[in-house]
Amino acid sequence: MKDATLKQIAAQLGVSITTVSKALKDYPDVSKKTKNAVIALAKKLNYTPNSFAVNLRTKESRTIGLIVPTVDYNFFSKVFEGVLKEAEKRKYLVIILRSNEKLEIEKKQIDLLLKKRVDGILMSLSNETGDFDHINNIIAYKTPLVLFDKIAKLVNCSKVMINDRKAAYDAVTYLISKGHKKIAHFRGSYIPQNSIDRFLGYKRALEDNNIFYDSSLVYVCDNNTDFEDGYNNAKKIVNDHPDISAIFAVTDLVAVGIIKYLNDIGVQVPQQIAVFGFCNSFMSEIITPKLTTIDQPGFEIGKKAASILFDEIELIKSNKAFEFQSVELETSIIERESA
């Protein structure tokens, strides 16, 4: 029954194909009686409009692509909820792809989405993404693009992010206000802008408070998918620098790894070493002691990025001019027990 066509319906009812098509689209110039007859027969024939043919005609698929670096149990799950929420409201479908933090996969995913002619793309860059030709290619294809979270400042498109530098600055200033002087930083990899910015915020807060910046207190955690990096680097730092009094972690996942190690060896958090996270993920409430962290509003980031993308898709469709937006969402300190 899948191949029943407008033609068949038209023939059976003795009306024109145009009338059938208009009836199915609920156009006002078709009588209610005809509409009901068409809909009843279409249902009987199990007929659904061929969305590919519709796409060809309208050049619109009402589908967007979302590329995330990883499928995690924290930040990106929240982003994802925000994107879906907005997509449901605006009646778009979302194809999700992940780059696995690899530049080569990211390139391939973009290619797939462009070939699929999605209406727009939402993406957060992989940790390896240091040049942007493939991202600029999206723009060359006149496909609307919104970057979020891990963005590239040099790419000319709308962006939704937080002020990572300020959030990190606030976190470290908080630790300093609690009397900490020897504060380590477990940073993310070297390429992503948000990892760089969190590090710079850490450094600046120390300097503004006349605390000597010691690069040997900075450890790199570039595994985004489990807490092993935090755990292993905690082991190292307790050995190398037993006199540190606080650690500012680049993510909650890293902070959880640190707390797990400190719990395992019986070092008291926060009495002996304070730990500060970044994200305010679900697990920050679960771990003992509960994690003090930066609230990074993943749901709102996803929702806002999707909303801007849908606006741009629709503005382009109606040939209206618009300017790219750079939206910075607020973060705040969530005080719990670990710092």
* Token pair belonging to 251: 């993510």
CB of 317 to its own copies, least distance (A): 14
By C-beta, is 64 or 172 nearer to its own copies?
64
- Dist CA 258 CA 228 (whole Å): 9
Q: Which is nearer to its own copies, 31 or 48 (CB)?
A: 48
Longest CA–CA span in the chain (Å) reads 88
Cα–Cα distance for residue pair 67/123, rounded to 1 Å: 5
Distance linking the first and last C-alpha atoms of the chain: 65
Shortest gap between Cβ of 179 and its own copies (angstroms)? 27
Smallest gap from Cβ 210 to its own copies, in A, equals 37
Q: Which residues bind its own copies (CB under 8 A)?
A: 1-2, 46, 48-53, 55-56, 61, 63, 71-74, 77, 80-81, 84, 93-98, 112, 114-117, 140-142, 256, 260, 263, 281-283, 286-288
Closer to its own copies at the Cβ: 263 or 325?
263
Closest distance between its own copies and the C-beta of residue 59, in Å? 8
Q: Name which of 193 and 293 has its Cβ closer to its own copies.
A: 293
| CB-count exposure of residue 156 (10 Å: 0-12, 13-18, 19+) | exposed
Q: The tokens 């979270």 sit on which residue?
A: 149
- CA torsion sign for 197, 80, 293, 226 is negative
**139 or 196: CB nearest its own copies:** 139
For β-strands 218-220 and 63-68, DSSP reports them as unpaired
Residue 142 CB, nearest approach to its own copies (Å): 6
Gap between the Cα atoms of 238 and 231, Å rounded:
11
| 215 DSSP 8-state letter | G
State which residue, 60 or 222, has the beta carbon closest to its own copies. 60
- Stated as kind and residue range, the H or E segment containing 257 is helix 252-264
Give me the least distance between CB of 81 and its own copies, in Å please: 5
